[in-house]
């Protein structure tokens, strides 16, 4: 295993280590570690901060996952990325896509939008907030999309898909929806819609699957309850 991953692996809950720990031994992960080290050595700023790279897995154990919300890559401006898809730390301005998520949450579940954009409460209640790429260069969205992360996060998605409990996979936008073919829709709920971005919202009138009105939060909870699982507490107080 590359030394860069030893400490990271140790921070993960044992259920994740058992399910995907061998992935850290793969040659592509060593190459990914070398790529990130070279980028930092070249003076590039990489988000999120290195200790938060695997925050989604560290925060939400595999055995606790009730739902997965899949993002593309971390926010790429200073202070935003915290290793959880769509989430920003308290005190950081709420990004436009997240504002639309808040609006849908209120329309769907009657939960008033919070003053902040921090989604750690969701992560702590079993929502795996996963990006398909876990790092990004400052100011360059998608810059690490081909660095090797997709192979790793596909393994994460597969581990959830193969688990014993039914889970809701919430796929927003074309990038996330490509993962639907990996999922067993006979066991799990797959909720697909447009991305919550303002650009997608502007095209909602002509879309067959607009984000607004898709009701991903209540549909997730209805599904979980029907299968004897505890619902997600979507409140963000």
For the question of residue 222 being annotated catalytic, the response is: no
For the entire predicted model, the pTM comes to 0.96
Q: What is the 3-state secondary structure (H, E, C) of the chain?
A: CCHHHHHHHHCCCHHHHHHHHHHHHCHHHHHHHHHHHHHHHCCCCEECCHHHCCHHHHHCCHHHCCEEEEECCCCCCCCCCCCCCCCCCCCCCCCHHHHHHHHHHHHHHCCCCCCCCCCHHHHHCCEEEEECCCCEECCECCCCCCCCHHHHHHHHHHHHHHCCCCCEEEEEHHHHHHHHHHCCCCCCEEEEECCCCHHHHHCHHHCCCCCCCCCHHHHHHHHHHHCCCCCCCCCCC
Q: Which of 73, 108, 124, 194 is catalytic?
A: 73
The pLDDT tens digits for 34-67 are 999 999 999 999 999 999 999 999 999 999 999 9
The pLDDT tens digits for 222-231 are 999 999 999 9
């Amino acid at each position: 295993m590359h030394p860069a991953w030893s400490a990271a692996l140790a921070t993960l809950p044992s259920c994740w280590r058992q399910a995907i720990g061998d992935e850290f031994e793969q040659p592509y992960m060593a190459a990914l570690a070398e790529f990130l080290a070279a980028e930092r050595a070249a003076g590039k700023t990489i988000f999120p901060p290195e200790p938060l790279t695997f925050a989604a897995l560290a925060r939400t154990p595999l055995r606790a996952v009730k739902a997965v919300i899949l993002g593309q890559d971390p926010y790429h401006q200073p202070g935003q990325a915290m290793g959880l898809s769509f989430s920003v730390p308290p005190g950081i301005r709420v990004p436009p896509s997240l504002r639309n998520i808040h609006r849908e949450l209120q329309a769907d579940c009657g939960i008033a939008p919070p003053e902040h954009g921090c989604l750690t409460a969701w992560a702590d209640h079993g929502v795996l907030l996963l990006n398909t790429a876990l790092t990004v260069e400052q100011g360059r969205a998608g810059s690490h999309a081909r660095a090797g992360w997709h192979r790793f996060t596909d393994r994460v998605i597969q581990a959830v898909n193969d688990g014993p409990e039914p889970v809701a996979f919430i796929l927003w936008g074309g990038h996330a929806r490509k993962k639907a073919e990996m999922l067993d829709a006979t066991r799990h709920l797959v909720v697909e819609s447009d991305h919550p971005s303002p650009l997608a919202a502007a095209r909602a009138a002509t879309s067959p699957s607009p984000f607004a009105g898709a009701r991903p939060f209540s549909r997730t909870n209805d599904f979980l309850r029907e299968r004897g699982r505890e619902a997600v507490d979507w409140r963000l107080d």
